[in-house]
Amino acid sequence: MRVHQHSYHNQEQLRAWLRERSINASNPLLVQMFTSTPQALSLQTIADLVQSLLPNAVIIGCTSAGEIIDGGVQAQSTIISIVEFQQASIVSASLELTPGVTEYEAGKLLAAKLSQPGMKAMIVFTGTMDNSDAFLQGIGDVHPDAILAGGIAAGLEDGRSLILGQSLMKAGAVGISLAGENLHAANAYSLSWNQIGKRFAVTHAEGKRLYRIDNRNVIPLYRKYLGENIAEHIVEKSKNFPLIMQKDGIEICRDIIDVHDDGSVTLSGNIENGDVVRFGFGDPELIIDRSKRLVEQLLDIPSEAIFIYSCEARKNFIFHSIGYEIEPLQQLAPTAGLFTNGEFYHHQKSNVVLNHSMTLLILAEGDNAQPRVSPPEEAQRPQQWGELDVLKAMSNLAQVSTDELFELNAYLDESEQRYKSLVEYNPDIVYSINAGGDFLTKNSKFQEILGYLDHEVKSLYAILVDSDRAPMQHSISQAYSGKPHTFETTLIHRTGIAIPFMIINIPIVVNEAIVGVYGIAKDISARKEAEKRITHMAYYDTLTDLPNRMLLHKRMDELLTDPDPDGRMFACMFLDLDNFKEINDTFGHFAGDRLLQQFSHDLLDILNDRGIAARFGGDEFAILIQVATSKTAEELAKRIIRYFENPVNVMGTEHYITVSAGISIYPQDGDTSEALLKNADMAMYKAKQAGKNRFQFYNSEFCDLMVEKRALVGELRKAIADEELVVFYQPLFDLKSKKLIGAEALVRWFHADRGAIAPSVFIPVAEEYGLIDQLGHWVLKTACRQLVAWQSRYKPELVMSVNVSYQQFGRYDFVESVSGVLQGTRLAPQSLHLEITESTALIDLTHTKAVLRQLQSIGVSIAMDDFGTGYSSLSCVKDLSIDKLKIDRSFITNISTDERDAAIVKTIIALSRNLHMKVLAEGVETPEQLAKLAEFECDEIQGFLFSRPLDAEQFEAQFLQRNMNEEEC
């Protein structure tokens, strides 16, 4: 890499200089030109000349506030710096700002134009922009790893100028990018201004526009701390007292460049809410001393060219001594650059606009580029510094005073920070007011939560609803009397929305006197909503959103506590969907849930806000409605039943559902919510028993029977659990041999108070209330255990016949349950005969076939009980594998006198012969019946002619002990 520097005077001199330098025009050439002469248009002329002599050169430049060349500073001059690279690649681009394109988007566009593989660095010059930081951010987002240098062109008498190639621009941006495998690029910067005075927080800023610092206007702040003269001439003077902030490890200065009528100011660069700033004050010797340290740091970096982009304000402050800062850099490598109105700097993958700083771009190329190992010679202290001794003394005095002030106010500052942390970082609104409710302070949460700007609300009462003014006055009065006070109130949001708050007001005590009130206002909207949701969940059904049982009771209690003044009655209607379980079993619970939701919606439409509809549970609903007479409740029930005669569409499928309803009337059918609901429930049950799809009013006589029945259920449940039931046995005989072949197990219940309860009474109750499985299993186990005992003592060939209910038979684990009993009692499966009715077999023919096959595969025999009473006996016999048919007693009773009954029995016996099945006749009570059955060659018989059912002890004594070898009729 070779560097050529020239201070331009005229074209002839420039031509001669270029000839002397022997520049290889075929090498990559970067030409930078800067001028502070009033005739900035001369850049065009110079560029045209250079381009004609060096056609391949890339030319870039701009107007400046002073030029830097070979370690010196010039003014009112034009300089040309040419870097002759060996292999570097240079890409150039320009960009004009167009309407509708943001600075950020413009930065991305320019960065895209400058893109090239292996890019190491970019040099960019711009005119003035509304948001230079956004422009640099756009560049950085496209090329986060490339170093950016350059700055904002200085304004001269005829404006700012940018040049790229032979094109002169008055605005926009120009740039070049550098790439190369052997190219080394680094950057550095120096600020070195003292920070004096306290720290301030930016409380309102938008881009470059600064409105408030520490919630105060900017100009009065300068007036207070720096005096009237500085405040009055702030645009001119602020360069000497910039605001300094620290971001991402670097210090950034901001000058005031304009003052607005609203008290806000425009800065030289962006600033954000929350930034912490202090006043800056320059010490020339300190600035230069720290720059010397910067030079020492650069000793470790390869350097063949150093480009300096320094701030005009820095040059103006240090006066003629600026050269002393730059001169040591020339000993590292040739230097060139300019003084800008804002320097561009790349730091931690992002770009920023600096002020008051000196930025450097250090370049080297080739393997021979080595860092310098010895420091440069120190320049002599300039004589001009004598005139700055007073300024230095003032700077030192200001710094010492500031340090002492910090020490004196350390405790106060810490206390203030603690207070600000408590207030500003509090998630709730924190405020202070006087006795009249006027705001003294408000934290930022006030605007965030309520939407008001700070100046829009002066009094707490202005955002209260009228009904809360008196409670607020009382609370403030309590606080002024020294008593903290907490209460709930409503504050009005800027949009007009009422928001609930929990407020605590506490006294402000200064020197033992109450001087105001601190308040904390907590938004309790979420809590109120949660309470509302919890209340809704407590009182409403989650599936249908109807009132639930708890709310229904509450509403009924309210009606009972505060009866209608006109003496009107009210009706309680209990509804149940008929056969709802079938829909759940067939289409799934999701479809069932949708059906319940649709039913609830339709039910509300029928009521039309004239009553309360509630979901009681499952598929049960209740309605509460005031009525003049019972006729009103009757008409409503009819309307509900008629309504659901039409199909209900659920998930694209039509379902026909019917409703059974029971009605109780207050006061005649009960005077408590529990009594009215219970009576309506019993009336609904009566409607179901009557055939479903109808309604029934409460009737005390019927309901007494229901009460009796439900009491019986409880006693039966206890009897099963405590094994208070007894199994009786009726003997079975072979008709030809007259020998005992076994017994049928029949359950009996002898109640301690009621006496003997007929099976026709308690068996249906067990089936209806889900007790039959437990009861049937107990009978099966007891009978099998008894048969094992009899077989071991008397006749091993005895069999036991046990009845099975349709509910038992339908269970998925029925076969497993039977196997478990056989294993537990050690009874041979061939000794067990299970009896099922024809109706049981036909409920689910596929299931029946599967269960019968499994039972027969383990050796259990199957008998069809009550054969001939079903509606499809022949189909049942044909499709199922049955071992024995039991002819129903209704055909046996008149067999000796009625030819038709005799013909039916004879046909059944003949049918069984052809199907290889045995036949048993039950209910044989007379010798004539026995004779007929013998004539028809029936296989087996049982009935009162031989014996009534007996308990185990009686059966054993009468049929087993009397004749251990053979039992005859």
700-721 helix and 772-793 helix, angle to the nearest 10 degrees: 40
Segment 645-668, tens digit of pLDDT: 888 777 777 878 889 999 999 888
Is residue 394 pLDDT above 70, yes or no? no
Does residue 157 fall inside a structural domain?
Answer: yes
Tokens of 677: 């609901």
Q: What is the pLDDT of residue 522?
A: 93
- Hey, what amino acid is at 330? Q
Strand partners, 159: 156
Instruction: Tell me: pLDDT of 411 over 90.
Output: no
Give the pLDDT mean for 522-533: 91
* Cα–Cα dist 115/446, whole Å: 48
Residue 338: how many other CB atoms lie within 10 Å? 31
Does some domain include residue 632? yes
Asked if residue 903 and residue 755 are part of one domain, the reply reads yes
Domain holding 444, by residue range, is 412-528
Q: How far apart are CA 179 and CA 165, in angstroms?
A: 19
* 284-297 vs 322-330: helix crossing angle, rounded to 10: 10
Position 13: which residue type? Q
Task: State residue 386's pLDDT score.
Answer: 44
Check residue 967 and give its pLDDT: 47
CA torsion through residues 412, 415, 420, 423, sign:
negative
Q: Do 69 and 128 belong to one domain? A: yes
Nearest to 861 by CA among 897, 818, 825, 829: 829
- Tens-digit pLDDT profile for residues 568-622: 689 999 999 988 888 888 788 888 898 899 889 989 998 888 889 999 888 999 9
Q: Determine how β-strand 250-254 pairs with β-strand 243-247.
A: antiparallel
Same domain, 741 and 648: no
CB atoms within 10 A of CB 515: 14
Using the predicted structure, report yes or no on whether residue 283 has a pLDDT greater than 90. Answer: no
CATH code of the domain in which 897 resides:
3.20.20.450
Q: Are residues 804 and 930 in the same domain?
A: yes
Inter-residue contact 428 to 520 (CB < 8 Å): yes
Q: What is the pTM of this model?
A: 0.46
Domain C-terminal end among 281, 303, 325: 281
The pLDDT of residue 73 is above 50: yes
Q: Identify the residue whose tokens are 């007479």.
A: 629
Residue 487's CATH number: 3.30.450.20
Number of domains in the chain: 5
594 in the same domain as 517 = no
The helix (H) or strand (E) run that includes residue 195 is strand 194-206
Same domain, 270 and 334: no
The verdict on 758 and 877 lying in the same domain is: yes
- Any domain includes 378: no
Residue 889 region, left (φ>0) first, then alpha (ψ -120 to 50), else beta?
A: alpha
**Widest pairwise Cα distance in the chain:** 155
Q: 3-state SS string over 233-268?
A: CHHHHCCCCCEEEEECCEEEEECEEEECCCCCEEEC
Give the integer Cα–Cα distance in Å for 332 and 305: 8
Strands (E), 425-497: 429-433, 439-442, 485-492
pLDDT band at 333 (very low <50, low <70, confident <90, very high): very high
Q: Which is nearest to 279 in space by CA: 198, 399, 397?
A: 198
Distance, in Å, from the CA atom of 156 to the CA atom of 248, rounded to the nearest integer, reads: 34
Q: Are residue 226 and residue 260 in the same domain, yes or no?
A: yes
pLDDT of 485:
94
* The pLDDT of residue 384: 46
Residue 304 contacts by C-beta under 8 Å, 6 or more apart in sequence?
1, 3, 333, 334, 363, 364, 365, 369
Mean pLDDT of the residues in the chain: 87
DSSP annotation string for 205-230? EETTEEEEETTEEHHHHHHHHH-HHH
**Residue that terminates a domain, selected from 528, 551, 572:** 528
Residue keyed to tokens 């199994």: 727
> Does the residue 445 lie in any domain?
yes
Question: Which residues in 579-596 are b (16+ Cβ under 10 Å) and which e?
Answer: ebeebbeebeeebbebbb
Give the integer Cα–Cα distance in Å for 503 and 309.
Answer: 57
What token pair was written down for 537?
Answer: 């969940």
- Other beta carbons within 10 angstroms of residue 510's beta carbon come to 8
Three-state SS annotation for 317-378: HHHHHHHHHHHHHHCCCCEEEEEECCEEEEECCEEEEECCCEEEEEEEECCCCCCCCCCCCC
What digits encode the pLDDT tens for the residues 836-871? 988 888 888 888 899 999 999 999 999 998 786 655
Contact (Cβ atoms closer than 8 angstroms) between residue 544 and residue 614:
no
Asked if the structure places residue 969 within a domain, the reply is: no
Last residue of a domain, one of 341, 365, 389: 365
Does residue 226 share a domain with residue 132?
no
Residue pair 267/208 in contact (Cβ under 8 Å)? The answer is yes
Contact (Cβ atoms closer than 8 angstroms) between residue 311 and residue 340: yes
Q: How far apart are CA 263 and CA 222, in angstroms?
A: 12
- Residue 391 lies inside a defined structural domain of this protein: no
CATH number of the domain where residue 596 is located: 3.30.70.270
Sort residue 94 into left (φ over 0), alpha (ψ -120 to 50) or beta: beta
Same structural domain, 243 and 174:
no
Place of tokens 């008998």: 863
Residue carrying the six token digits 């595969």 = 857
Region 24-29: mean pLDDT is: 92
Both 462 and 601 in a single domain? Answer: no
H or E element: which one contains 908?
A: helix 899-914
Token code pair at residue 328: 């040591």
pLDDT computed for residue 422 by the predictor: 78
Residue 178: name the closest of 371, 77, 28 by CA. Answer: 28
What is the predicted pLDDT for the residue at 966?
53
Same domain, yes or no, for 317 and 217?
Answer: no
Q: What contacts 307, CB < 8 A, 6 or more positions away?
A: 32, 81, 123, 149, 335, 336, 337, 360, 361, 363
371 is a domain residue = no
Tens digit of pLDDT for each residue in 621-635?
A: 999 998 888 898 999
Which residues, at least 6 apart from 86, have a Cβ–Cβ distance to it below 8 Å? Answer: 1, 27, 28, 182, 365, 366
- Bond from prior residue into 667 cis (ω within 30 degrees of 0): yes
In this predicted model, what pLDDT tens digit does every residue of 75-87 receive, in sequence order? Answer: 889 999 999 999 8
DSSP H/E element including 184? strand 183-190
Taking a C-beta distance cutoff of 8 angstroms, is the pair 665, 698 a contact?
Answer: yes
Task: Read off the pLDDT of residues 802-843 as tens digits, 9 standing for 90 and up.
Answer: 999 988 998 889 999 999 999 999 999 999 999 998 888 888
Q: Kindly calculate the radius of gyration of the chain based on its CA atoms and give it in whole angstroms.
A: 53
- Percent of the chain at pLDDT > 70 equals 91
Domain contains 703:
no
What is the DSSP-derived secondary structure letter of residue 144? T
Q: How confident is the model at residue 388 (pLDDT cuts 50, 70, 90)?
A: very low
The tens digit of pLDDT for each residue in 668-706 reads 888 888 989 999 998 998 898 888 899 999 987 766 666
